[in-house]
Amino acid sequence: MRLIALLLLYIATLIHNSAYAGNAENGERVLRPCIVCHLADRHGNKIGPSLKNIIQRRAATESGYRFSSAMIKAGEAGLVWDKKTLTEYLYNPQAMVPGTRMASVKITSKKDIDDLIAYLEKISQQ
């Protein structure tokens, strides 16, 4: 009995680990075109603001970055980055925040967004 329980625990651990690794791994791949313009593992600005701690951050609040007035207005109106808002923004930045300086990146896969968020959360905690 104890052996079976241990075996099940072992299998559950294997499944859990492989699912998690695949997720973050794909998230890193999804982020690749973004890091031309964004740092993500630390603060500091490039062409775009750092994405460190972006999840649950209010739009246009990363310090030291000069946001477009369009993004500042969106932040003041209450835009906070989470799964729903990122999904909409990354699908078509200009449609969601007209006048934003960010070019279209067109991420259309919901799974890619999930993985991207998992990865951004993971590196924000490091």
Q: Using CB under 6 A as the criterion, which residues of the chain lie in contact with ligand HEC when the complex forms? A: 33-34, 36-38, 47-49, 51, 54, 59-60, 62, 67-68, 70-71, 81, 90, 100-103, 105, 107
Question: What's the Cα-to-Cα distance from 27 to each of 4, 22, 114, 115, rounded to whole Å?
Answer: 35, 8, 8, 4
Q: What are phi and psi of 120, to 5 degrees?
A: -65, -40
Residue 33 or 44 having the CB closest to ligand HEC: 33
* Cβ at position 19, least distance to ligand HEC in Å: 22
| CA pair distance 98, 94, nearest whole angstrom | 5
Residue 16 or 29 having the CB closest to ligand HEC: 29
> Which amino acid would we find at residue 125?
Q
* Cβ at position 8, least distance to ligand HEC in Å: 38
| Burial of 108: CB neighbours in 10 Å, binned 0-12, 13-18, 19+ | exposed
* Cβ at position 20, least distance to ligand HEC in Å: 20
Residue 14 or 88 having the CB closest to ligand HEC: 88
